[in-house]
Amino acid sequence: GNSVTQMEGPVTLSEEAFLTINCTYTATGYPSLFWYVQYPGEGLQLLLKATKADDKGSNKGFEATYRKETTSFHLEKGSVQVSDSAVYFCALSEGDYKLSFGAGTTVTVRA
């Protein structure tokens, strides 16, 4: 079945540092890929998505590129802020009405 593997956290960074969160997936076909973010005490919200190979999703300074050859969708941000402290989830959906999530990566940005 479909599955998503994320790098384990927690990740602690200083402001303006570069952030990378690795995500790899297993799927039988051509899934859509997502990054969702959960700020403290809130529900999840979509950060970005990509629906086909080589697509790049971007939002709020975050980027991720759908790499079919490496089955990856790594999240990057060039200069993080304290307000980026959150839990980040990689997820995939393959048209079967189900969304599969990774375990989540907790990111803490210190001033």
The residues that touch other proteins, with contacts defined as CB under 8 A, are 4, 6, 32, 36, 42-46, 49, 51, 89, 93, 95, 97-104
Residue with smaller CB distance to other proteins, 16 or 42 = 42
Q: What is the DSSP letter of 84?
A: G
Rounded Cα gap, residues 95 and 79, in angstroms = 34
Residue with smaller CB distance to other proteins, 43 or 69 = 43
Rounded Cα gap, residues 27 and 3, in angstroms = 7
Residue with smaller CB distance to other proteins, 58 or 101 = 101
What is the identity of the amino acid at 57? Answer: G
Least Å distance, CB 99 to other proteins, is 4
Least Å distance, CB 111 to other proteins, is 27
Least Å distance, CB 20 to other proteins, is 19
Instruction: Single out the residue of 80, 88, 100 nearest to residue 22, CA to CA.
Output: 88
Residue 104 Rama label (left phi>0; alpha psi -120 to 50; beta):
left
